[in-house]
């Protein structure tokens, strides 16, 4: 039963692609953009956690106030996630092509 559903889906999607190629390309481009954005966010959050851990360790070793470190991290969280996430996404997925460049 599951194999039949997959076969029907493949036939339907192939037919749709053949009949409406512009819409198919637009859908694929949108999926690629969503995957890239998800990868940027996911990899950026992981990298930001590592940066925060290293900064907290450095602050503890040098006697810097914890509140100051947390304030700096909260202020720059979005920038850290975006920059490190884009770098990681480019390493994972390669450079974005023309359909993925919109941010």
pLDDT in tens, 76-102: 999 999 999 999 999 998 888 887 765
pLDDT at 24: 87
Query: In this predicted structure, what is the pLDDT of residue 87?
Result: 93
> Given this model, what pLDDT does residue 97 score?
83
What is the token pair recorded at 28? 């694929």
Q: So what's the pLDDT on residue 25?
A: 86
Segments of the chain scoring below 50 in pLDDT = 103
Question: Is residue 81 packed enough to be buried (19+ CB in 10 Å), middle (13-18) or exposed (0-12)?
Answer: buried
- Tabulate helix, strand, coil % of the chain (nearest 5): 85, 0, 15
Angle made by CA atoms 2, 9, 32, in degrees to the nearest 5:
115
Phi-psi region of 94 (alpha: psi -120 to 50; beta: other; left: phi over 0): left
Question: pTM for the complete prediction?
Answer: 0.74
pLDDT at res. 101: 62
């Amino acid at each position: 039963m599951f194999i039949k559903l997959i076969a029907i889906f493949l036939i339907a999607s192939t037919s749709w692609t053949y009949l409406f190629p512009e819409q198919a390309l637009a859908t694929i481009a949108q999926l690629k953009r969503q995957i890239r954005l998800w990868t940027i966010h996911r990899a950026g959050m992981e990298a930001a956690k590592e940066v925060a851990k290293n900064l907290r360790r450095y602050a503890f070793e040098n006697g810097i106030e914890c509140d100051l470190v947390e304030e700096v991290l909260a202020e720059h969280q979005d920038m850290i996630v975006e920059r490190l996430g884009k770098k990681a996404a480019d390493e994972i997925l390669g450079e974005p092509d023309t359909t993925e460049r919109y941010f």
